[in-house]
Structure formats: structure tokens, C-alpha cells
Amino acid sequence: MTGTPESSPLGIAQRWVLVLIAVALATGLVVLRGGIQSESPMEQLARRSLDPQTALTNGRPTLIEFYADWCQVCREMAPSMLDLEKQSRDRLDVVLVNVDNPRWQDLVDRYDVNGIPQLNLFNAEGEAKGRSLGFRSAEELQLLTTALLENQPLPALPGVGNISQLLTPPSANKAMAGASSPANAGPRSHG
């Protein structure tokens, strides 16, 4: 019986190699998925997000991000957005709106979302200050946040535009709350 695989040193060594490979693969998967915590930064933000109407009426500046789960740029920006939300939690509302959720179609139409990620920026009174299209680095997000918190003009960054109060007075913003604009292009068009 000395020739059975269970008792041979080579059989035991092979089993240990297989166990070590399995442990290494499992560890690799955990690291690739972002650690033990299974929620991605985007999922964490979405879960922590206030209702947009609540955010726009609670006396804090608001940043609304229109995103989609499948959007690679949105996922790349999510860790910086989560850090921003954590740093400014009691001073600024960060709201995520998934463009694929029919619940938010009225907001997608109202804010003319035709590419993602799109950030809509509001002052503490809920008045639209501007919007940003496309990827934003952590530094750019910080500049936008500082401008909102200090009620200053938005920084001059590519893809960032101010909204003129002459063109959209606060009364027009409120009137637009019940209206939707025609959709020429959907958010999936990226543009």
C-alpha cells in the first residue's frame, strides 16, 4: 500500500500546491473586486444619496450626478465622488440619478441629459448654477465643490458651463419642475 497517492510525498505536495493556488486565486478576486466590502463606490453613493427634491430644498448646495451602472467613466469617477461626499457630507448634498431607472425619466428630461456623466450644480437655494459633462478628476471635483460651498462662480474647466440667471430665473426653474424638454438624444448617445 505504499504506492497509493494518499501516502506518497508527491501526492501531498501536489495537494498543497493546489490549495495554495486556490487561496491565491480567491485572494486575487477579492482584491480585484475592491476588497472584502462588496459594494463599489458607485453603489455606496447611490445607497447614501438623498432624493433630488429633498436635496434641492434643504438649504445646502447640491451636486446631482446623472450616471449609469454600465458607464465606465462614471465608475472611474465614483471613488473621487465618494470621497467628495464623505468630506462635505454636512455642507453639500451629492445626489446620484441613474438614467436607466424609469423613476428618474422626468429629471433626465428636465435637465436635458444627453451624455453621462453629467453633473448639475445648484446653490443652497436650489437654483441651477451650471453643469459639467464628462469625466472630472478629484481636483476638478474639489474646485467645483469649493465654488458651490463659497457661492462663487464655477471654475473655467473644459465641459463646465454656467447657467445664466437672466436666461433661467428662479421662477423659471420652478416652472420647469413640472415640464419636460423634448429629448433629441438619449443619455446613451454620449453626446
Annotated catalytic sites, by residue? 71, 74
Rg (CA), the chain: 24
Residue 9 backbone phi and psi in degrees, to 5: -60, -35
CA-closest candidate to residue 96, choices 128, 71, 119, 124? 119
According to DSSP, residue 11 is labeled H
d(CA 148, CA 178): 25
CA-closest candidate to residue 187, choices 59, 27, 30, 71? 71
